């Protein structure tokens, strides 16, 4: 290309370049290194592969299944990409898996909360939780992503 620079003594020399290949895998690794805790990844909203995790505490229960599916469909309809954990597994194992995956938000649906019409909405970064209606959980997640991506 003929690119060159002058040395301090005025001699023209060709420019030498290198490429360090900052690709998608290195960017993801850097984001994880900067956003994690002892439990796993804490994805920033702008990078999260799944924007919310829906955890069904009683798989096979008609009530929890229905609410989980409604929350999932509502988030998809709003243009969000949720992950639905419908495994027949203990609650602690599901929470640990969701922390490892690092979705910024977790919606926990269980029979006890549904008796009063609430689910638990947890922000992964802070661990802050609130009992809200399923509709409010969806609205809060959608609001958190307003202007993101």
| Tens digit of each residue's pLDDT (9 = 90 or more) over 39-95 | 999 999 999 999 999 999 999 999 999 999 999 999 999 999 999 999 999 999 999
- Determine the Cα–Cα distance for residues 29 and 23; give it in Å rounded to an integer: 10
- Determine the Cα–Cα distance for residues 127 and 106; give it in Å rounded to an integer: 10
What's residue 149's pLDDT? Answer: 60
pTM listed for this prediction: 0.83
What's residue 128's pLDDT? Answer: 97
**19 — pLDDT class (breaks 50, 70, 90):** low
CA angle 121, 118, 76 (to 5 degrees): 60
- Determine the Cα–Cα distance for residues 107 and 54; give it in Å rounded to an integer: 5
| Tens digit of each residue's pLDDT (9 = 90 or more) over 106-128 | 999 999 999 999 999 999 999 99
What's residue 102's pLDDT? Answer: 96
**Contact criterion met (CB below 8 Å) for 106 and 121:** yes
Tell me which residue of 63, 47, 64 sits closest to 55, measured CA to CA: 64
Q: Is the pLDDT of residue 38 over 70?
A: yes
Write the CA distances from 84 to 24, 25, 29, 56, 131, integer angstroms: 25, 25, 24, 8, 19
Tokens describing residue 140 = 């809060």
CATH superfamily of this structure's domain 40-144: Anticodon-binding domain (3.40.50.800)
- The domain limits of the chain are 40-144
């Amino acid at each position: 290309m003929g690119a060159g620079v002058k040395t301090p003594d005025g001699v023209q020399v060709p420019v030498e370049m290198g490429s360090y290949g900052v690709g998608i895998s290195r960017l993801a690794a850097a984001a994880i290194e900067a956003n994690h805790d002892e439990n796993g990844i804490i994805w920033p909203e702008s990078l999260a592969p799944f924007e919310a995790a829906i955890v069904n505490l009683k798989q096979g229960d008609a009530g929890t299944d229905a609410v989980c599916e409604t929350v999932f469909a509502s988030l998809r309809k709003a243009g969000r990409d949720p992950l639905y954990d419908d495994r027949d597994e203990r609650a602690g194992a599901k929470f640990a898996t969701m922390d490892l995956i690092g979705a910024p938000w977790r919606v926990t649906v269980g029979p006890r909360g549904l008796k009063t019409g609430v689910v638990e909405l947890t922000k992964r970064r802070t661990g802050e939780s609130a009992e809200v209606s399923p509709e409010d959980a969806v609205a809060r997640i959608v609001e958190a992503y307003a202007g993101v991506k």
